[in-house]
Each structure stands twice: as structure tokens, then as C-alpha cells.
């Protein structure tokens, strides 16, 4: 690419410098065969869910190869072990098995599309009904985030994370209603979780998404380490998910 030429840097690309084959993905992660610059691994496992995470894992393995070639001492046996042990908090992170509750920090249209694609493909047949809890920040593309996810759900609960930039649930409800008529609002993430829990069965799916702040707050509530917060407060624990804004 132009940037690599301008900086006299070597460019490595997935699909060219490395490939993933025999890909198997599901709600517990995935496995694939990796062939890189020099490294070949069979049945490599990742706990992260979605076909796109296999692409990310391949890039991580390719990066590891480049680092080894530059002198970093990484034992060959540690590479698949490290990949299998890797976790990404707030990215289709399972919080409960029965009912199945996952949190995801998708906070832009591209991430929402990926999340919807993964829910549709990887989670197919693993639940009876899908309840979406959606909390988005007001300065984000609310419709772009809501559209792909709301259309998949049997029911949508819109809410507001405890952050001053949160969108108004009433406004969110009007947007979501364009794509799913079965929508209601909850004043807080805590209330939204309680509302979802009160109506789902053991074989249903609850996905809490729309913002890293929503995902972080929900995680604290579901783990029992956070109390309900006021709408204008800042969530102390959200930085544990990621340093990104969303």
C-alpha cells in the first residue's frame, strides 16, 4: 500500500502471506488450519465467536511470525496455546448459558452488521427467541446501529447506559420501531436486563449491545458487582472492556 511504500515498510497481508482453511465456527468459537510465511498449524482454536474472528486470528498468527523472524523468542508450541487462551471482553462475551446472555460493544454500523451476521449464522438453531437490549450513545449513528440488529430480534428493549452522552430511549424507540414493531423502553440498563429476564425462557437468547458503555455496565450488573446507576453518572468499570470510545 501507499503508506508502506512511503515509510519504506514491508507490507504483510492475510489471504496472501497467510491463509486459513478448514474453517469451523460456532457459538463456542472456531477452529481452522493456518498456513503462513513458514508456520503451518492444523486445528488452531479460538474462543472468539464469528468467522471474522478467524480472520483476526490469522492476522495475529501472521504478526507472531513476523515478530519471531525479527528475533522475538516465541516458542512454537506457545502460539496455538496463546491463541486458544485469548479473550476479548465485551465482544460476544457469554454471561449466562441458560438463558443464553451475551454482551457486545458494537457501537458503529459496521460492527453492528458483523454482530448481526454472527448472530444469524453462528447462533442459528441455538435459541428459541431472541431479545435484543440496545443502548446507544446519542452522538453515534443510531439508525445505522439499530437497523441490522432490530430486524433480527423477536423483541427489542431500548435503554440508556449510565453516561451523559447516552441517547434518549424514547428517541431510540421511534428509530427501532421502523425495523421491529415489538419494541419497548427501559430507563436504565439494569431495568432493561430485569425486563428481559422476566420474559425469556431457558432456551432464549438475550444480546445486550449498542455501546461499550452499555456492555460494560451490563457486565457489572450480570456479575453482581455493580448497582443500578443514575443516568448522568460515568461507569468506573467500563475501561476494563476497552480503551475505545463508544
pLDDT tens sequence across 120-170: 999 988 999 999 999 999 999 999 999 999 999 999 999 999 999 999 999
Per DSSP, helices labelled H in the chain are 2-6, 51-69, 78-85, 109-122, 142-150, 169-176, 189-199, 212-223
Report which of 167, 221, 235, 143 is spatially closest to residue 189, judged by C-alpha positions. Answer: 221
Using the predicted structure, report yes or no on whether residue 111 has a pLDDT greater than 80. yes
- pLDDT score of 1: 74
22: helix, coil or strand? strand
Classify the C-alpha dihedral 210-215-216-218 as positive or negative: positive
| Cα 213 to Cα 217: distance, rounded to the nearest angstrom | 6
Phi and psi at residue 38, to the nearest 5°: -130, -25
Pairing of strands 93-97, 100-103: antiparallel
- pLDDT score of 232: 42
Mean pLDDT of 104-129: 95
DSSP 76: T
pLDDT tens sequence across 47-82: 999 999 999 999 999 999 999 999 999 999 999 999
| Cα 126 to Cα 26: distance, rounded to the nearest angstrom | 10
- pLDDT score of 230: 47
Looking up cell 442459528 gives 124
33: helix, coil or strand? strand
Which residues are bridge partners to 102 per DSSP?
94, 207
What global pTM score does this model have? 0.86
3 — pLDDT class (breaks 50, 70, 90): confident
| Cα 114 to Cα 40: distance, rounded to the nearest angstrom | 28
- pLDDT score of 227: 63
| Cα 26 to Cα 176: distance, rounded to the nearest angstrom | 28
| Cα 134 to Cα 158: distance, rounded to the nearest angstrom | 5
Amino acid at each position: 500500500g501507499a503508506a508502506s511504500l512511503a515509510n519504506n515498510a514491508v507490507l504483510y497481508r492475510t489471504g496472501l502471506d497467510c491463509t486459513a482453511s478448514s474453517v469451523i465456527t460456532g457459538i463456542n468459537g472456531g477452529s481452522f488450519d493456518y498456513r503462513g510465511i513458514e508456520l503451518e498449524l492444523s486445528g488452531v482454536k479460538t474462543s472468539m465467536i464469528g468467522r471474522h474472528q478467524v480472520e483476526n486470528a490469522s492476522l495475529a498468527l501472521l504478526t507472531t511470525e513476523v515478530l519471531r523472524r525479527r528475533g522475538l523468542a516465541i516458542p512454537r508450541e506457545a502460539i496455538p496455546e496463546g491463541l486458544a487462551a485469548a479473550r476479548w471482553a465485551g465482544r460476544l462475551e457469554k454471561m449466562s448459558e441458560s438463558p443464553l446472555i451475551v454482551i457486545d460493544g458494537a457501537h458503529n454500523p459496521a460492527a453492528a452488521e458483523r454482530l448481526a451476521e454472527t448472530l444469524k449464522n453462528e447462533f442459528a438453531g441455538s435459541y428459541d427467541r431472541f431479545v435484543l437490549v440496545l443502548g446507544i450513545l446519542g452522538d453515534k449513528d443510531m439508525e445505522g446501529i439499530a437497523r441490522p440488529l432490530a430486524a433480527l430480534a423477536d423483541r427489542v428493549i431500548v435503554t440508556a447506559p449510565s453516561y451523559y452522552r447516552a441517547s434518549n430511549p424514547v428517541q431510540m424507540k421511534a428509530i427501532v420501531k421502523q425495523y421491529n414493531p415489538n419494541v419497548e423502553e427501559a430507563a436504565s440498563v439494569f431495568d432493561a436486563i430485569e425486563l428481559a429476564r422476566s420474559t425469556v425462557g431457558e432456551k432464549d437468547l438475550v444480546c445486550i449491545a449498542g455501546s461499550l458503555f452499555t456492555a460494560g455496565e451490563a457486565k457489572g450488573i450480570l456479575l453482581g458487582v455493580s448497582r443500578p446507576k443514575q443516568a448522568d453518572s460515568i461507569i468506573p468499570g467500563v475501561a476494563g472492556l476497552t480503551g475505545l470510545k463508544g
